[in-house]
Amino acid sequence: MLPALWFPGRPGGRGWRRHRRGTGQEVGARRRRVGLGRPRGSATRRGRETPGPAGIIMVPPVPAETMAEEEGPAIELRQRKKPKSSENKESVKEEKIDDTPVPERAPKHVLFQRFAKIFIGCLAAVTSGMMYALYLSAYHERKFWFSNRQELEREITFQGDSAIYYSYYKDMLKAPSFERGVYELTHNNKTVSLKTINAMQQMSLYPELIASVLYQATGSNEIIEPVYFYIGIVFGLQGIYVTALFVTSWLMSGTWLAGMLTVAWFIINRVDTTRIEYSIPLRENWALPYFACQVAALTGYLKSNLNTYGERFCYLLMSASTYMFMMMWEYSHYLLFLQAISLFLLDSFSLEQSDKVHEVYKIYIFSLFLGYLLQFENSALLVSPLLSLVVALMLIKCLQLNVKKGIVAKIMKAINFYLACTLTVTLNIIMKTFVPHKENGHMLKFLEVKFGLNITKNFTMNWLLCQESLQAPSQEFFLRLTQSSLLPFYILVLIICFLSMMQVIFRRINRESLKETVTLEDGRIGERPEITYHVIHTILLGSLAMIIEGLKYLWTPYVCMLAAFGVCSPELWMTLFKWLRLRTVHPILLALILSMAVPTIIGLSLWKEFFPRLMTELTELQEFYDPDTVELMTWIKRQAPVAAVFAGSPQLMGAIKLCTGWMVTSLPFYNDDDLLKRNENIYQIYSKRSAEDIYKILTSYKANYLIIEDAICNEVGTMRGCRVKDLLDIANGHVVCEEGDKLTYSKYGRFCHEVKINYSPYVNYFTRVYWNRSYFVYKINTVISFQS
């Protein structure tokens, strides 16, 4: 029963209320329940209470004005005695809201500390990116003596496929209009003989398109040369790359000191973190900065304590960077496929809210279909494993929503992995059956040969297997990472985070609830979803990097980030101390000390050992000297007809296309079956084939000039069986493996040697018109001159 309510009136009559006298605490509690409680010893408007007869407390009458103010709460209490069923929840909700303590505003000095920390961290992140971009620019200038070179010598520094990318940038600048330039890229018949290609789609020329538009729209043609503008954009993107890694490590550790250590390790190990020094226009140099921004946004998005505005910002940044990454690199969807697998495992173990993970899946689908439309209906995106996996996971999500409870839900949870794998493979097969595509089938064949599932004598497959970037990492790679102290700390951090993650998984299996907020004292770093995602992702990338060395450029930057986060995170040290049951020293204090002391010691040692080397590289003036190639390009521009077609190695053809603009027979690309076949046929000039066979091959592609490279013809390879001429002999059946790899008898000598002797029948087919120490140029005779 609620206590009797009082109303105004005379003492002891109507309006008075009676209470049984109790203890002081009981009386105070009853008074507080009806809104009459007051601090002990304080005065009230009703005056003092006077004890009445028989131990009854007498309360004097209250004025009408005071009664009007307090009548509302009294009536409300009377109505809450028997609320209606429909209003019950609302009243309970109001009580909970009223009982919720209002958060106090942080003191001004605390707000100032937070602002200073964020400001200094952002300033350090931006400064690190800018300094790295300036460092790359200065190093590039010193290495090639770029500003003191002529335009032709500058362009020669772009090798192989990089030369092709930059050549299309030049073509866009020469186009009379933007529309005409785009049309010439999409209907290009001036690059490869007898072939019209959509260079925009086939070679992913969106970076060159954007760079040319920016160069002309900003009026930079009156300020800076095109080549400096181009490489400046790439160096700027590398600065963004470093800034994104800085922010990612900062978000994970909570201190910008981790970001500084990430940048230091990245620059010191730049030989293994980036290929920007060797090939500036590579697609990965344009694309990976966007992927780093996407990973930073995803890291913030997965954090449990993120507010609404921060979550929206991370979602928008993640959407934009995912799409840009997909547009810049044709192999981007494979890397996003690994990321989707990591998120799927994160969701499967219920380590994060499923809604967030499935929002990321929606970003994948949106980016894939938008990329499909804007990349001229690129069917490779529709048949990509990323789309099949995401669609399969969305279907599985729908099935789980329909069976939330009961034994069926448990069975669905148990066979989640099986359903995901089965549906992904099934959907991918269906898409490849009904969608016409030209996916990189040679990549699957390469992987079969790489893992020993198949044996082939195909020249292209064996040539790819011999490339250093497609082999297993060398011992020097691990030695370099160990000397910079990166690898040992990465292994330590990875082991601690992985074991903590496994503990969380076992708790989930045993149906133990996870804490909403993990504190430092808990020592459970594996409960943080962003940490779990990075652990799974780095394990997947590292597994691939252990097989193919070229993938180390995807893995090593995140090794720097993860190692720096770990040594600067007090939570990681606290997790380790929880396992060790440290009691001699307070674990929290020791964790805080180590999180500051260890990165400081690492930073000082790196500064002492590697900073002088970096300064020496900037002060040491080098020079790119290749006079033979310069002479060859100069002769072609002066002596060769404009309509001439040149044949030679694909790498040299890329330089000819850039420096002269002449048409070629092949290109250094391996994503098209026709180009692969052309490359293999043109390489026959270094095989043991007859002059007539070579002549037929060259004339079938309408070639007018043939260039023999002495470096390939007289190659002395360090790896046995990986020279071009050896691979050609294997493909043509001129090597008997059972007899100790001895050459069999052939009535034809090696063409590149025989054609230099100038005797019949070679002189009937080919006429030497130019030569120097490295190159021999032969004019391919017409049929009429051959018959004479």
Residue-level pLDDT at 682: 95
| Single-letter amino acid code for the residue at 579 | W
- For residue 552, the surrounding DSSP H or E stretch is helix 552-567
Q: Is the pLDDT of residue 424 over 80?
A: yes
Closest CA to 727 of 464, 436, 337, 419: 464
Q: Give the pLDDT score at 351.
A: 56
In 3-state terms, what secondary structure has residue 160?
Answer: coil
Residue 16 CB: number of other CB atoms within 10 A? 19
**Average of per-residue pLDDT across 97-126:** 72
Residue 567 near residue 598, CB atoms below 8 Å: yes
Q: Which helix (H) or strand (E) holds 496?
A: helix 486-509
Domain 627-780 classification at class level: alpha beta
pLDDT at 434: 86
- Write down the domain spans for the chain: 331-439, 627-780
The whole-number pLDDT of residue 30 equals: 46
Q: Give Cα separations from 223 to 18, 220, 639 (angstroms).
A: 93, 5, 33
Q: Quick: pLDDT tens for 153-164.
A: 999 989 888 999
Quick one: pLDDT at residue 112? Answer: 78
pLDDT of residue 787: 44
Please give the Cα distance from 285 to 292 (Å, whole number).
11
Share of the chain above pLDDT 90, in %: 46
Residue 33 pLDDT more than 90?
no
pLDDT at 89 over 60: no
- Whether residue 242 is predicted with pLDDT greater than 90 in this model: the reply is yes
Question: Can you give the length of the chain in residues?
Answer: 788
Judged by average pLDDT, the poorest of 28-42, 596-610, 654-668, 685-699 is 28-42
- Dig out the tokens for 413 from the structure: 């949870």
Number of Cβ within 10 Å of residue 635's Cβ equals 17
Q: What is the pLDDT of residues 487-542, one digit of tens each?
A: 999 999 999 999 998 988 887 777 666 566 666 666 778 888 899 999 999 999 99
What 3-state class would DSSP assign to 189? coil
Place of tokens 């929503």: 401
Mean pLDDT of 344-373: 86
pLDDT at 31 over 60: no
Rounded CA separation 252/266 (Å) = 17
Q: Could you tell me the two tokens for 359?
A: 């929002």
Q: How far apart are CA 106 and CA 113, in angstroms?
A: 11
Average pLDDT over residues 33-43: 43
Block residue for tokens 């020469």: 174
- Please tell me the predicted confidence (pLDDT) of residue 127: 94
- State residue 15's pLDDT score: 42
75-86: per-residue pLDDT in tens? 333 343 444 444
CB-facing half-sphere around the CA of 60: CA atoms within 13 A: 9
Nearest-angstrom CA–CA distance, 336 and 265? 25
**Mean pLDDT of all residues in 26-33:** 46
Q: Return the pLDDT at 512.
A: 64
Residue 721 DSSP SS3? coil
Q: Which residue has the higher pLDDT, 91 or 705?
A: 705
Identify the three-state secondary structure at position 730.
helix
> Between 540 and 6, whose confidence is greater?
540
- Of 460 and 85, the one with more pLDDT: 460
Least confident of 59-73, 321-335, 391-405, 706-720: 59-73
What are the distances in angstroms from CA 289 to CA 56, 60, 286? 80, 78, 7
CA distances, 563 to each of 117, 303, 610, 780 (Å): 22, 19, 18, 59
Burial of 744 (0-12, 13-18, 19+ CB in 10 A): exposed
Provide the pLDDT for residue 737: 52
Cis peptide before 612 (omega within 30 of 0): no
Answer yes or no: are the C-beta atoms of 340 and 295 closer than 8 Å.
no
* Beta-sheet strands, E only, within 613-699: 645-647, 663-664
557: left (phi over 0), alpha (psi -120 to 50) or beta: alpha
Can you say whether the dihedral through the CA atoms of 514, 518, 523, 528 is positive or negative? positive
Residue 44 pLDDT grade (very low, low, confident, very high; cuts 50, 70, 90): very low
Residue 637 vs residues 47, 150, 151, 660: alpha-carbon distances, Å:
109, 15, 14, 6
pLDDT for residue 275 is more than 70: yes
- Going by pLDDT thresholds of 50, 70 and 90, the confidence category of residue 280 is very high
* Amino acid found at 511: R
Of 106-120, 137-151, 644-658, 681-695, the least confident: 106-120
Taking every pair of C-alpha atoms in the chain, what is the biggest distance, in angstroms? 144
Q: In angstroms, what CA-CA distances link 752 with 25, 38, 336, 583? A: 107, 106, 45, 76
The letter for the amino acid at 62 is V
For residue 334, what pLDDT band results from cuts at 50, 70 and 90? Answer: very high
Is residue 223 pLDDT above 70, yes or no? yes
Task: Give pLDDT, residue 305.
Answer: 79
Q: Cα dist. 690→86, 181, 727, 755 in Å?
A: 96, 43, 17, 10
CA distance 351 to 533: 9
5-9, 381-385, 644-648, 730-734: lowest mean pLDDT where? 5-9
pLDDT of residue 555: 95
Structure tokens at 387: 């789309």
CA-closest candidate to residue 578, choices 542, 639, 525: 525
**Closest C-alpha among 555, 572, 566, 571 to residue 602:** 566
pLDDT at residue 99, rounded to an integer:
47
Q: How far apart are the first and last CA of the chain?
A: 125
Is the pLDDT at 621 greater than 80? The verdict is: no
Q: Which residue has the higher pLDDT, 13 or 608?
A: 608
Average pLDDT, the chain: 81
DSSP state of 403: -
pLDDT at residue 98 is higher than 90 = no
Torsion of CA 204, 208, 214, 215, to 10 degrees: -170
pLDDT at 432: 86
Position with higher pLDDT, 18 vs 783? 783
50-74 pLDDT, tens digit per residue, is 444 444 444 444 444 444 444 443 3
pLDDT tens-digit readout, 568-590: 998 898 888 888 877 667 778 88
Sign of the torsion formed by the C-alpha atoms of 218, 224, 226 and 228: negative
Structure tokens at 615: 């300064």
CB 592 within 8 A of CB 119: no
Spatial separation of the C-alpha atoms in residues 167 and 160, rounded to whole Å: 11
Distance between CA 756 and CA 768 in Å, rounded?
8
- In this predicted structure, what is the pLDDT of residue 113? 80
Find the mean pLDDT for residues 286-304: 94
Average pLDDT over residues 458-477: 87
Contact (Cβ atoms closer than 8 angstroms) between residue 637 and residue 660: yes
pLDDT in tens, 544-577: 999 999 899 999 999 999 999 999 998 898 888 8
Q: Which residues pair with 735 in a beta bridge?
A: 743
- pLDDT for 41: 44
Q: Is 231 exposed, middle or buried (0-12, 13-18, 19+ CB in 10 A)?
A: buried
Pick from 189-198, 564-573, 620-629: least confident: 620-629
The per-residue pLDDT for 735 is: 67
Residue 94 has pLDDT above 90, yes or no: no
| φ and ψ at residue 266, rounded to 5 degrees | -65, -45
